[in-house]
Amino acid sequence: MAKIGYLLLCEDVYKEKELIIKKPYNTIAPISIPGNFSFVMVFSVIELEEKEDYSVEIKGQDPNGKNIIEPQNIDFSLPSDERFKDRPIGSASFNLTYTNTVFEVEGTYTFTVTVNGKNSKTAEIPVHPAGKYR
């Protein structure tokens, strides 16, 4: 059964021969709150089967449960094309860029990725103004 392997928020992601995740965030610190901040959400889906259809739901919410990113779905299936025969089987990675996302309040934000409405993973990220430490 498909499930989320990892879920991170970071500054950027580079893909050449390998996936390079630049500056994973354990906290987000806009210049001020409310304020804008850009980030990349990177996650993997593992235990995938060929010829199956998958749907991944992505959500991001502030400490009060308000959506800070529009909930979205990504539908996909594994390619069975010969061009992909040298790649790892049964997994997929996704990188989603969120530019100038508004963070209206200070506190712990949650980012959740769910595959096929069943298995999910949540990242909890504290958000505070730059220069303020808890």
Closest of 125, 129, 128, 92 to residue 24, by C-alpha: 125
CA–CA gap between residue 101 and residue 99 (Å, rounded): 6
Give the CATH number of the domain where residue 76 resides. 2.60.40.1930
pLDDT of residue 87: 60
Show the domain range for 42. Answer: 3-127
Domain-embedded: residue 43? yes
pLDDT of residue 53: 92
Domain-embedded: residue 132? no
Domain-embedded: residue 134? no
Domain-embedded: residue 114? yes
Domain-embedded: residue 119? yes
Number of domains into which the chain is organized: 1
Phi then psi for residue 82, to 5 deg, are -60, -25
Provide the residue-wise pLDDT of the chain in tens; the chain has 134 residues. 899 999 999 999 998 888 889 999 999 999 999 999 999 999 999 998 878 899 999 999 999 999 999 999 999 987 776 665 666 568 889 999 999 999 999 999 999 999 999 999 999 999 999 887 65
pLDDT of residue 82: 67
CA–CA gap between residue 59 and residue 69 (Å, rounded): 7
pLDDT of residue 131: 81
Domain-embedded: residue 65? yes
pLDDT of residue 134: 56
Domain-embedded: residue 133? no
Domain-embedded: residue 118? yes
pLDDT of residue 90: 81
pLDDT of residue 5: 94
